[in-house]
Amino acid sequence: MTIPSAFTEKIRNDYFELLKFETVGADPMKLRDCLDCAMWIKQWLAPMGFTSELMQAPDRLGTPPIVFATRPGTPGALTILFYGHYDVQPADPLDQWQTPPFEPTLKADGRVYCRGSQDDKGQWFSCLCGVRKFLAKRAGAGSVPTLKIVLEGQEESGSGALAALAPTIRGKLRADVMLVSDTGAAADLRPAIVAGLRGVSHFTVRLEAADHDLHSGEFGGIAPNPAQGMAELLASLHNPNGSIAVKGFCDGIEEPTEEERNAAESAAMSDARYEEEIGCPPVGGEEGLTITERNSFRPTIEINGIHTGYGGPGSKTVIPANALAKLSMRLVPGQHPDTAMACVARHLERHTPRGMKLFIEDLSGEAAGFRLPLASPVFRLATYVLEDMDPRGPVFQWDGASIPVVSVLKEASGATPLLVGWGQPQDRIHSPNESYGLDQFVKSMTWGEKILGALCD
């Protein structure tokens, strides 16, 4: 394995130290880790001239802090806002990790394995390493932008604190351009500019019947079965062709322009490549639509987990007293999170099996999707930079994933978002054995340095 010269021992040590913090922001037991990580970030930014503070929304005390850092620039220069998140997904299932999930390991394949190695610690850290390089080159000579950094600890669980705080600190957030490094490149690390994101909401559905588990022989055919009821309820959300069956859910969807559709399709992976990456045929979603249409321009309602009854070894013949399901919705422009959730709630209420009680809980996320105009001057500038980095030039993508708070920060800051990241499917984010390649790390560093130079010159 050849280690790129840009990935210095200092960078490696800092990167590994950052990754060791077990910053599962959704877990209250990891709040100390989140606070320690936020303090570490403050100290890491200080030598670059940043003044940092830890912030919380007044009604969200006891949540992971938000790191807000500023560095004044040359008078008259642009103001650049960086956004990222230091929280990570839970590491489970632990038995599927080949290395300890919070012990960063550089393997012979040139990849660092650790939870958060890519999503999103690795992405924003590598980009800011490039910013540091830019600032060092400009020290005492040349203009530099005013820099603002927002790094939060709740993105993986909905960005509730930052979404609540952002409208109250508009003056602090005011910027011209917002850089986000939390997305993916195209196949073979070809650069990609993300011109839109789907929105997201997630929630819990619970069904209850009897007040305790029942013997399936004595009460089978008599007592309502929440496990069966949950299966029926969830199945009712989609039509046989995979389209969404919820009345009103898709009303008002803004269809992509022909230019957007063509640009998205030109960057799409083949069905065979998707099957190679995910291990099964890419046939989910609505029949008759391409992968790009299904992933970039259509909404989804996905079941993220179902929990009910007995799942241990052997058998246990019970009728469970309750069933629980975790669901998420990906939303596209034209859909409002509140309206979409209301449509789903009405549908679930109408289809609740007889004899059972329905509860809808833990609603979070509630972020709208957005698309940005392809003619944006910022996109043109980014295209020049990425063509300099890679002669193939960038493609445009409309990401099927979500960064819920980006639309909130866009509105609060007035900044034009510029989403360029270096993720690849083999990074396995949100899964065991997450990793980030050194080649990706260096690409991100180079992007951070070059885009600042372009925005200043």
Spatial distance between the Cα atoms of 265 and 292, rounded to a whole number of angstroms? 6
Residue 57 has pLDDT above 90, yes or no: no
What confidence score (pLDDT) does residue 30 get?
97
> What does the pLDDT look like over 181-207, one tens digit per residue?
999 999 899 999 999 999 889 999 999
What whole-number percentage of the chain has pLDDT above 90? 86
What confidence score (pLDDT) does residue 403 get?
84
Residue 140 has pLDDT above 80, yes or no: no
Spatial distance between the Cα atoms of 452 and 457, rounded to a whole number of angstroms? 9
Averaged over 123-145, what is the pLDDT? 94
Strands 177-180, 416-419: pairing kind: parallel
What confidence score (pLDDT) does residue 146 get?
97
Question: Quick one: how far is CA 282 from the chain centroid?
Answer: 21
What confidence score (pLDDT) does residue 1 get?
81
Is-cis flag, bond preceding 377, omega within 30?
no
Q: Which domains does the chain have, with CATH numbers?
A: 9-183+403-456 (3.40.630.10), 199-253+299-367 (3.30.70.360)
What confidence score (pLDDT) does residue 457 get?
78
> What does the pLDDT look like over 360-410, one tens digit per residue?
999 987 888 889 899 899 999 999 999 999 999 999 999 877 787 898 999
For the chain, the farthest-separated pair of C-alpha atoms sits apart, in whole angstroms, at 83
Averaged over 7-35, what is the pLDDT? 97
Residue 60 has pLDDT above 80, yes or no: no
> What does the pLDDT look like over 309-336, one tens digit per residue?
999 999 999 999 999 999 999 999 999 9
User: Does 222 or 401 have the greater pLDDT score?
Assistant: 222
Establish how many alpha carbons lie within 13 A of residue 345's alpha carbon, considering only the half-sphere containing its beta carbon.
14
Averaged over 147-160, what is the pLDDT? 93
> What does the pLDDT look like over 402-432, one tens digit per residue?
787 898 999 999 999 999 999 999 999 999 9
Spatial distance between the Cα atoms of 425 and 32, rounded to a whole number of angstroms? 31
Residue 42 has pLDDT above 90, yes or no: yes
Spatial distance between the Cα atoms of 83 and 152, rounded to a whole number of angstroms? 8
Residue 273 has pLDDT above 90, yes or no: no
What confidence score (pLDDT) does residue 274 get?
86
Tokens 């599962």 locate to 24
What whole-number percentage of the chain has pLDDT above 70? 100
Question: Quick one: how far is CA 391 from the chain centroid?
Answer: 28
Mark 335-367 as b/e (b = at least 16 C-beta within 10 Å): bebeebbebbbebbeebbbeebebeeeeebbbb
Q: Which of these, 126, 275, 152, 255, lies nearest to 196 by C-alpha position?
A: 255
What confidence score (pLDDT) does residue 98 get?
98
> What does the pLDDT look like over 225-269, one tens digit per residue?
999 999 999 999 999 999 999 999 999 999 999 999 998 898 788
Spatial distance between the Cα atoms of 95 and 374, rounded to a whole number of angstroms? 44
Tokens matching residue 358: 């329905």
Spatial distance between the Cα atoms of 44 and 13, rounded to a whole number of angstroms? 12
Averaged over 84-93, what is the pLDDT? 97
What confidence score (pLDDT) does residue 399 get?
83
Spatial distance between the Cα atoms of 187 and 422, rounded to a whole number of angstroms? 10
Radius of gyration, alpha carbons of the chain: 23
What confidence score (pLDDT) does residue 317 get?
96
